[in-house]
A and B are shown apart, each in its own frame.
Chain A
Amino acid sequence: MKEEIIIAGFGGQGVLFMGRILAYGGIMQDQEVTWMPSYGPEMRGGTCNVSVILSDNKISSPILSRFDTAIILNQQSLDKFEKQVKPGGVLIYDPNGITRHPERKDIKVCRIAAVDEAAKLGNAKAYNMIVLGAYLKVKPVVTFENVIKGLRKSLPERHHHLMEMNEKAISVGMEAVEIL
């Protein structure tokens, strides 16, 4: 198994953290992982992305130009990464703020209205975990249990009271994702 993922959106959407939870989940089931962020001024509100690779074998290049899955959270990222999804791959996107929707027919396109779902939950910060839930439903390469373990590892102890909220958000994402 080898899964190459790009997660892209705005800084502040929790893109990097989502990738990190996914990577930690991979470690929990003994996979090799890399997490390679775009870094720099993007961190301060511009576009932001991270590529995550999960694999049963040693990972060579952490730099990729084609992905099995793209998780897209804004228009700029959709414009940039839609064409980089491998044929037969998956594109998951949040339609919020999207004016030009995915057009490719040779990939599986999924929609997660995570902004709306987070609003329903009354917690804007749950946004990235809802998106993560959507991914896990479509591509169960990491089990829910291992993602939760990874989450526990990633959150500092003082934030462990947020575990329940995050678990809930992941479940909501798994429920709410639509395969188009």
Chain B
Amino acid sequence: MDINEIIKPENKVYGKSTVLKDAVMHYCPGCSHGTVHKILAEVIEEMGIQDKTIGISPVGCSVFAYNYLNIDWQQAAHGRAPALATATKRLMPDKYVFTYQGDGDLASIGTAEIMHACNRGENIVVIFINNAIYGMTGGQMAPTTLLGQVTATTPYGRDAKLDGYPLKITELIAQLEGTCYVTRQSVQNPGAVRKTKRAIRKAFENSMMDKGTSFIEVVSTCNSGWKATPVAANKWMEENMFPFYPLGDLKDR
């Protein structure tokens, strides 16, 4: 069979979203970021809002999110993305505005900004990647690091007496009157990916309905930081992260 007979529209089973650029991602093999980026790109493409979407990238591994999605991007100072998003959405209410933040950015240095943006009910989307570790700086303890988890700054495992407890920031966010949709998802298998995509789409739709802030935590892996193969990382996440950070909607109104 000639190759041209194979490459036909009717034979196409999968296509890369047109919102994704051709740039090769810098993320480690097995990292959840790439999958979440792909989902975001697909939602933006399917909703036809590429020209109306403004993304705000954090400090952390996903600082470079702007290299992968072909939309307008702002790159925030560490933890401050919700402040940038607040102003952007208020000054341009017809735009879809989302922040993309990791656990260090959102749940440690940026706690004030995320709590108050959510409490004001800013009509923005927050994508929160929780992999329980600082990836970009080399695997240090995150606010969401589990008790006993070994990181570069908890070499003997996280000890509550020394380091405090893992922070369930999403549960806190769900308490705030300003949030309309708070959910915790994951992307380790096709079923989970589909659920996360539905959640992200819903969040983007919410942001034009004046309902308040939509907040999506994606429990993720960092196999480099965790020093595990992609498969082992997924298994560790399911066995250790999910019991402490259970999946599902915390709030939907």
A contacts B directly (C-beta below 8 A): no
Interface residues of A (CB under 8 A from B): none
